[in-house]
Amino acid sequence: MDEIKLPIDGKLPNRWEIQYYTLMGKLFYWLKILRGNKGKKSNPLNCDMEIEIIGDIPGGDITQNTEIMNYIFKNPLNNKIIESATKGAPLIKLGSGSNPRVMITAGVHGNEIPPQIAALKLINELDKTDINGTVYVIPFVAPTASSQNSKLFRNQNLNLVAHNPGTPTNNVLKKAQELEVNSLADFHATSTHPSEDSVIYFLSVASSKIAFYVNKKSNSRLLAHIYNPGTLIATCNTNNIPTILCEVEAPDGTASNESIEVSYNQMKAFLRYHQIIT
Ligand SMILES: [Zn+2]
């Protein structure tokens, strides 16, 4: 569970950094458990739902992706979100607008299917639930890539260019800043590396605390981020938005009920960390 695997390009965290941040995550996890639900909590409110379109990001026809369509319910809400995706990246706001305000993203890689389906499932679920605070969900960060079941968006890996203005992932950062979100979680699927259900933290205490909690609550392996300035997790964290990245094991371009469930549980653990749901 707490093992760390190192690889891929980018700057490797050293052994001491990993031990330090894992220890910090663990410490805050136990403090949180000991405090229980005694923390300040406002009354959960009836969930208002709004759909906005991030028009700076090109839209796409999600119905062309048969794998996504095979798994989602064809209900009015999902139809509306998919229709919105033809005009840009849909941004669904759930909750009153009050703190805590968090953002969930999926589809940074368009062929990583389970999180995109899980994000729709989460929106449908939260729409019927009283929540504390506000959740912004972007189920398709790059609708064009999702429609093509493609990892790349216009030959770009969007998780390497988030620091470049004008890219969809940079537009996500700008939107998160505009909405003053306190924390963000970016959801992926993996078939090569790390190729297992995992939660990845940036080398900061704020990020490791969240990741350690998700690791404990969703049985996802805890890993340290291999620093690359263009990942969404790095770009957000360096802009003071504590961010984690979650991976679910699934072959590219495909989903299964099991992988969708794992991704969905990672999302719920992230929301529980912030006491948005119980
Ligand atoms: Zn990915």
Q: What is the pLDDT of residues 129-176, one digit of tens each?
A: 999 999 999 999 999 999 999 999 999 999 999 999 999 999 999 999
Per-residue pLDDT band at 2 (split at 50, 70, 90): very low
Q: What is the pLDDT of residues 9-33, one digit of tens each?
A: 577 888 888 889 889 988 989 888 8
Report in angstroms the alpha-carbon separations of 116 from 49, 62, 90, 259, 268: 18, 11, 12, 11, 14
Span from the CA of 44 to the centroid of ligand 1 (angstroms):
33
Q: What per-residue confidence (pLDDT) applies to 18?
A: 87
Span from the CA of 73 to the centroid of ligand 1 (angstroms):
24
Residue 88 confidence (pLDDT) above 70? yes
Question: What residues does 54 pair with on adjacent strands?
Answer: 89
Span from the CA of 26 to the centroid of ligand 1 (angstroms):
26
Span from the CA of 112 to the centroid of ligand 1 (angstroms):
6
Span from the CA of 52 to the centroid of ligand 1 (angstroms):
24
Residue 8 confidence (pLDDT) above 90? no
Residue 43 confidence (pLDDT) above 80? no
Which residues of the chain form beta strands (DSSP E)?
Answer: 49-54, 89-95, 101-106, 134-138, 183-190, 198-201, 221-224, 243-249
Span from the CA of 109 to the centroid of ligand 1 (angstroms):
5
Span from the CA of 184 to the centroid of ligand 1 (angstroms):
15
Calculated CA dihedral for residues 162, 166, 169, 172, nearest 10 degrees: 120
Span from the CA of 196 to the centroid of ligand 1 (angstroms):
12
Span from the CA of 31 to the centroid of ligand 1 (angstroms):
32
Q: What is the pLDDT of residues 169-227, one digit of tens each?
A: 999 999 999 999 999 999 999 998 788 999 999 999 999 999 999 999 999 999 999 88
Residue 53 confidence (pLDDT) above 90? yes
Q: What per-residue confidence (pLDDT) applies to 44?
A: 55
Q: What is the pLDDT of residues 231-270, one digit of tens each?
A: 999 999 999 999 999 999 999 999 999 999 999 999 999 9
Residue 89 confidence (pLDDT) above 90? yes
pTM value surpassing 0.85: yes
Q: What per-residue confidence (pLDDT) applies to 223?
A: 94
Q: What is the pLDDT of residues 98-135, one digit of tens each?
A: 999 999 999 999 999 999 999 999 999 999 999 999 99
Per-residue pLDDT band at 3 (split at 50, 70, 90): very low
Report in angstroms the alpha-carbon separations of 48 from 129, 141, 147, 220: 10, 22, 28, 31
Span from the CA of 38 to the centroid of ligand 1 (angstroms):
36
Ligand 1 is an ion; residues with CB less than 5 A from it: 109, 112, 188
Span from the CA of 246 to the centroid of ligand 1 (angstroms):
9
Residues 6 or more apart whose Cβ sits within 8 Å of residue 148: 60, 64, 65, 110
Give the mean pLDDT of 81-94: 98
Span from the CA of 149 to the centroid of ligand 1 (angstroms):
12
Q: What per-residue confidence (pLDDT) applies to 189?
A: 97
Span from the CA of 234 to the centroid of ligand 1 (angstroms):
14
Q: What per-residue confidence (pLDDT) applies to 13?
A: 85
Span from the CA of 189 to the centroid of ligand 1 (angstroms):
6
Q: What per-residue confidence (pLDDT) applies to 192?
A: 86
Span from the CA of 29 to the centroid of ligand 1 (angstroms):
27
Residue 38 confidence (pLDDT) above 90? no
Sheet holding 49-54, edge to edge: 49-54, 89-95, 134-138, 101-106, 183-190, 243-249, 198-201, 221-224
Span from the CA of 99 to the centroid of ligand 1 (angstroms):
28
